[in-house]
Amino acid sequence: MCMREMRTELNELRHAFGNIGYELEILQSKAATHEELIASLQDRRESDYESKGCAQFELAQIKRDIDELDADYREIQKILRDLKGSTSEHDASLAYQKKRLQEMENSLDCMHGALGGLTDIVQTPKKATSSGSVYKVESGDTLEKIARRHGTSVDSIKTQNQLTSDMIRVGQKLSIR
């Protein structure tokens, strides 16, 4: 998985975690409201029963309301428990993704360091001797053309510049004797 995909997944997990937290707050608020409503209805039922003798119809209606609210409350409690479990899973996944991202960034830093060292080695030709010169490779150049132009051999240029193949690149500096 590339670093860009991991960062995208990490951002998606952060967004999902934020949404879960927001939904959790809403459900907790609803649960508190339901608890207050249940307590209020129970108080009302008791009060009505004591003060008015409470008509059977009203008592039955209040009882149904309490039962519905109680069922809603239990459902909200179940959802809250599920969300808390889901949040823990997202936390673990987020921690794993952060660890992987850090490992990849460390590997990338090592690769950049190694690449920088190799670039320095490739771009630093041997210093020209008093009888030699430095030639900068241009587009279309080959070692054979350069050797012919300077009256030397390909093997001599390769040896002098520590080249292991005939591959050269534009802008590369070669020491010529």
pLDDT value at 93 more than 70? yes
What's the whole-number average pLDDT of the chain?
82
pLDDT value at 3 more than 50? yes
118, 141: one domain = no
Burial of 152 (0-12, 13-18, 19+ CB in 10 A): middle
100, 171: one domain = no
137, 96: one domain = no
What is the structure's pLDDT at 52?
A: 63
What is the structure's pLDDT at 1?
A: 61
Q: What is the radius of gyration, based on Cα positions, of the chain?
A: 39
In degrees and rounded to multiples of 5, residue 173 shows phi and psi of -105, 130
Predicted confidence band of residue 48 (pLDDT cuts 50, 70, 90): low
pLDDT value at 2 more than 60? yes
**Are residues 90 and 13 in contact, defined by beta-carbon separation less than 8 angstroms?**
yes
Domain that holds residue 155: 133-176
Most confident of 17-21, 34-38, 92-96, 131-135: 34-38
Please give the Cα distance from 18 to 6 (Å, whole number).
18
**Are residues 86 and 20 in contact, defined by beta-carbon separation less than 8 angstroms?**
yes
- CA-nearest of 24, 35, 17, 18 to 82 is 24
CATH no. for residue 96?
Answer: 1.10.287.1700
Please give the Cα distance from 23 to 28 (Å, whole number).
9
pLDDT value at 126 more than 50? no
169, 101: one domain = no
Residue 138 is which amino acid? E
116, 137: one domain = no
115, 164: one domain = no
**Are residues 137 and 146 in contact, defined by beta-carbon separation less than 8 angstroms?**
yes
16, 90: one domain = yes
Higher pLDDT, 24 or 120: 24
pLDDT value at 139 more than 50? yes
Predicted confidence band of residue 128 (pLDDT cuts 50, 70, 90): very low
In a domain, 44, yes or no: yes
In a domain, 98, yes or no: yes
pLDDT value at 21 more than 90? no
Residue 73 is which amino acid? Y
In a domain, 128, yes or no: no
Domain count, the chain: 2
Higher pLDDT, 29 or 91: 29
In a domain, 157, yes or no: yes
